[in-house]
Chains A and B, each alone.
Chain A
Amino acid sequence: MRKFKSINKFTRTGIISYLIIIIGFAVIFPLQQLGLINHSLSGQLVPICTYIVMALSLNLTVGFLGELSLGHAGFVSVGAFSGVIAAAGLQDKIAFEPLRLLIAVIIGGVCAGIVGLIIGVPVLRLRGDYLAIVTLAFGEIIKNVINCLYVGVDKSGLHISMNDVKSLGMENGKIILNGPQGAVGIDQISSFTAGVVLILFALFIILNLVNSKSGRAVMAIRDNRIAAESVGINISKYKLIAFITSSVLAGMAGVVYAMNYSTIVAKKFDFNTSILILVFVVLGGMGNIVGTIMATVVLYMLPELLREFSDFRMLIYAIILILVMLLTNNEKVKLIISNTASKLLNFLAKIIKRKGSADNG
């Protein structure tokens, strides 16, 4: 244990996060295959995986880069829709589903990355709340534009229009994206395994980035921009690296998310979804990878577990959210909590030890 603590902090976080995901997968996957998990939980696995990746990628912007983004769902949206279009276009050409999903994920990631670049270049010049509002604005623009997009596929290939289905000018084809009615008839090829692989990939990218020269530069910018600039760090470049990586990962998560449902609409990826992801990040701790993963799982499952309260469900969710923010951020309360928590942990440990020795005896 002491040896473990002596390892570099980043490596340690890395090992812990990989372990959490792998163990989680190793426990849940067989249970799911054997049908031992109820439908509710098993239905939430894919969205949880994708939300983890969305939160991890946002954590790169908010936690490591220190810039507030309120339009993260926009990148998810770009990835989701381009991935869906790609997958639908390839449906007849590639029969092997995982390969089709992989290609869709890559295309979704690339498209989201391109949008991230287009947005990042002008936006990252701004700072603080102004950057936040511009990302919010971009998120809304993406939503509105996709809402007007019509895409279809027939024998002669892809058709795209901004007006209506008719102007696609195709016959006996398949409408992939039907404007505000969204993408309908998506082939549901996502799976829990794909979600876990995506998390591992995201962790790999993020941990390597954070642990690299670029990552240290990014964090230096966050901690003191002026000092970082004065030692010759190219601010725009490193900001852009982090921002684009974040959008690529968000886009990939979007693809896996979208392919889990038979329909998605642009409206889904609005300001509220951006906020939801941000809540996961803030609650998990800025720049804290393990915390983000856990916060996502807990907060995602919470509203589902509160269904017993029917009409009061969202009310209770709101109260819990406020209380948790107050409890984790108020110095005095934090002290009390951590004291009781460690006391509780010690107490539990004692009981377990006692029980263990009793069992042995």
Chain B
Amino acid sequence: MKKIIKIMSIALVLVMMLAFFAGCKSDTNSGGTGETLIKIGGIGPTTGKAALYGQAVKNAMEIAVEEINAKDGNVKFEVKFEDDENDAEKSVNAYNILKDWGMQILCGTVTTTPCIAVSTVANNDSVFTLTPSASSTDVIGGYPDADGNMTIARKDTIYQMCFSDPNQGTASAQYIKEQNLGTKIAVIYNNSDAYSTGIYQKFQAEADKLGLEIVSVKTFTDDSDTDFTSQLTDAKNAEADLLFLPIYYTPASLILAQAKQMSYAPKFFGVDGMDGILSLENFDTSLAEGVMLLTPFTADATDELTVNFVTKYKDKYGDVPNQFAADAYDCIYALYNACVNQGITADMTAAQISEKLIAEFSSSDFTFSGLTGENMTWSTSGEVTKNPKGMVIQNGVYVGL
């Protein structure tokens, strides 16, 4: 036993020394290496259950930075991406690692819960943060609900590239009402996921206001996201003709398959998390026939920007990029435009850059057109304003509604 303690203490000392050296090394690096690159940090899950989303963002960031650095401009970026396993604690650790590296702007984090934790720290440190995909309003803060209840105050340095959850929930309900898509609506959402629950709550509130009839609301959790027969049976028995799915595409693909097995065929309506369903390897696209979704990005779009991005992504990583990747790509370009406009250089501190970027993003003159929307603008609230596109899947491709 004593020997083990001995070994352990040696290991401990080694680990401590490593930690200190790692810190020292990165400190000296931040001084300046010939070329002056603005350091952008990225955080997201690249391992574990949510690895899909983090890897998409990481890949897209790399593509965008490569493109920008190949340009003949003054602003050039250096990007470093850290894994957080979709965990708030690991995410803060990753943030600190990036800070030691000398990060000046944060492009992240990818998933909601870690982002709430990291954005608070980043706000305290005055690091400008543009999250590609963390959609909860708790990320930006300062967002009272209908009764005026608040969870967290506005974090001034935090901005979003994706739609916020309420935005999507409300927009979906309005869209369903306007287009008269369904009379009896059923909802299945992920009760252990902040994104899904957030959209559902706003959808429900707006549906009540608009007088939409919701006949069945069922949930699932991350631990039981394979079998949806009982939720579907409930919707089927309630004779719902429209199934609203504010969830990601992996469980959605299972719901579609199981609904077909049960010979239950309502209209399906999804949100931006649904995008990507067609690019699932070996997915039977006939299952998704007629599925509608509100999404800012589709990989099948034929405009030059999208085609260019999708081709590059496929060549480099072998997959079709999803909406997370598109948001991340836009993030880097939006940051690039803002940096150019404000004349930001690599020798500024994170706080100086943050001040300039806040001024730029919240000014009404700053608009950005990218993969996920035309003429996007931001306000001081940190939320993005852009138009969602209604899409429907026909013959295995997205068609505008």
Q: Do chains A and B touch in the complex (CB under 8 A)?
A: yes
The smallest C-beta distance from A73 to any residue of chain B, in angstroms, reads 13
The smallest C-beta distance from A260 to any residue of chain B, in angstroms, reads 8
Interface centre among B47, B116, B191 (most CB of A within 10 A): B116
Query: How would residues 39 to 62 of chain A score, 1 for a CB under 8 Å from any chain B CB and 0 otherwise?
Result: 111111001000000000000000
Q: Which residues on the B side are within 8 Å of A301 (C-beta)?
A: 15, 19
Are the CB atoms of A181 and B198 closer together than 8 Å?
A: yes
Q: Which residues on the B side are within 8 Å of A175 (C-beta)?
A: 145, 149-151
Our pick among B1, B121, B150 for the contact of A285 (Cβ within 8 Å) is B1
From B155, which residue of chain A is reached at the shortest CB distance? A262
Q: Which residues on the A side are within 8 Å of B258 (C-beta)?
A: none
Query: Which residues 233-252 of A sit at the B interface, judged by CB distance below 8 A?
Result: none
Query: How would residues 167 to 196 of chain B score, 1 for a CB under 8 Å from any chain A CB and 0 otherwise?
Result: 000000000000000000000001111100
Given contacts A174-B150, A185-B138, contact A291 B8 (CB under 8 A): yes
Q: Which residues on the B side are within 8 Å of A345 (C-beta)?
A: 6
B231 interface residue, CB < 8 Å from A? no
B117 interface residue, CB < 8 Å from A? yes
What is the CA–CA distance of A178 and B15 in the complex, to the nearest angstrom?
A: 39
Are the CB atoms of B145 and A165 closer together than 8 Å?
A: yes
Query: Which residues 58-88 of B sit at the A interface, judged by CB distance below 8 A?
Result: 82-83, 85, 87-88
Which of A89-97, A103-111, A310-318 makes up part of the contact surface? A310-318
A161 interface residue, CB < 8 Å from B? no
The smallest C-beta distance from A5 to any residue of chain B, in angstroms, reads 11
Given contacts A41-B19, A307-B82, contact A181 B197 (CB under 8 A): yes
Query: Which residues 1-47 of B sit at the A interface, judged by CB distance below 8 A?
Result: 1, 3-12, 15, 18-20, 22-24, 26-27, 46-47
The smallest C-beta distance from A288 to any residue of chain B, in angstroms, reads 7
Given contacts A173-B149, A265-B88, contact A313 B93 (CB under 8 A): no
A254 interface residue, CB < 8 Å from B? no
Query: Which residues 74-122 of A sit at the B interface, judged by CB distance below 8 A?
Result: none
From A27, which residue of chain B is reached at the shortest CB distance? B16
Interface range on chain A (Cβ under 8 Å from partner): 35 or more
A268 interface residue, CB < 8 Å from B? yes
Our pick among B47, B149, B221 for the contact of A171 (Cβ within 8 Å) is B149
From B116, which residue of chain A is reached at the shortest CB distance? A263
Are the CB atoms of B113 and A313 closer together than 8 Å?
A: no
DSSP class of B's interface residues: helix, strand, loop or mixed? helix
Which of A199-207, A212-220, A221-229, A334-342 makes up part of the contact surface? A334-342
Are the CB atoms of A185 and B149 closer together than 8 Å?
A: no
Are the CB atoms of B194 and A147 closer together than 8 Å?
A: no
A328 interface residue, CB < 8 Å from B? yes
Are the CB atoms of B152 and A185 closer together than 8 Å?
A: yes
What is the CA–CA distance of A328 and B136 in the complex, to the nearest angstrom?
A: 46
Our pick among A188, A288, A307 for the contact of B120 (Cβ within 8 Å) is A188
The smallest C-beta distance from B11 to any residue of chain A, in angstroms, reads 5
Given contacts A165-B149, A342-B6, contact A43 B193 (CB under 8 A): no
Q: Which residues on the A side are within 8 Å of B153 (C-beta)?
A: 185
Given contacts A40-B97, A261-B89, A304-B97, contact A181 B149 (CB under 8 A): no
Which of A189-197, A292-300, A353-361 makes up part of the contact surface? A292-300
A170 interface residue, CB < 8 Å from B? yes
Query: How would residues 161 to 189 of chain A score, 1 for a CB under 8 Å from any chain B CB and 0 otherwise?
Result: 00011101011111100111110110010
Q: Which residues on the B side are within 8 Å of A285 (C-beta)?
A: 1, 4-5
B201 interface residue, CB < 8 Å from A? yes
Are the CB atoms of B26 and A297 closer together than 8 Å?
A: no
The smallest C-beta distance from B272 to any residue of chain A, in angstroms, reads 18
What is the CA–CA distance of A307 and B96 in the complex, to the nearest angstrom?
A: 12
The smallest C-beta distance from B142 to any residue of chain A, in angstroms, reads 10
B107 interface residue, CB < 8 Å from A? no
Query: Which residues 114-159 of B sit at the A interface, judged by CB distance below 8 A?
Result: 116-117, 120-121, 136, 138, 141, 144-145, 147-153
What is the CA–CA distance of A303 and B47 in the complex, to the nearest angstrom?
A: 12
Are the CB atoms of A180 and B194 closer together than 8 Å?
A: yes
Are the CB atoms of A180 and B191 closer together than 8 Å?
A: yes
What is the CA–CA distance of A214 and B18 in the complex, to the nearest angstrom?
A: 42
Interface centre among A41, A180, A328, A344 (most CB of B within 10 A): A180
Are the CB atoms of A178 and B6 closer together than 8 Å?
A: no
Apart from the given pairs A263-B117, A302-B15, 6 other A-B contacts in the complex at a CB distance below 8 Å = A165-B149, A172-B147, A184-B138, A263-B116, A294-B8, A313-B83
The 6 lowest CB-CB distance pairs between A and B, nearest first, are: A38-B23, A185-B152, A262-B120, A43-B96, A338-B3, A39-B96
Interface residues of B (CB under 8 A from A): 1, 3-12, 15, 18-20, 22-24, 26-27, 46-48, 82-83, 85, 87-90, 92-97, 99-100, 112-113, 116-117, 120-121, 136, 138, 141, 144-145, 147-153, 190-194, 197-198, 201, 205, 221-223
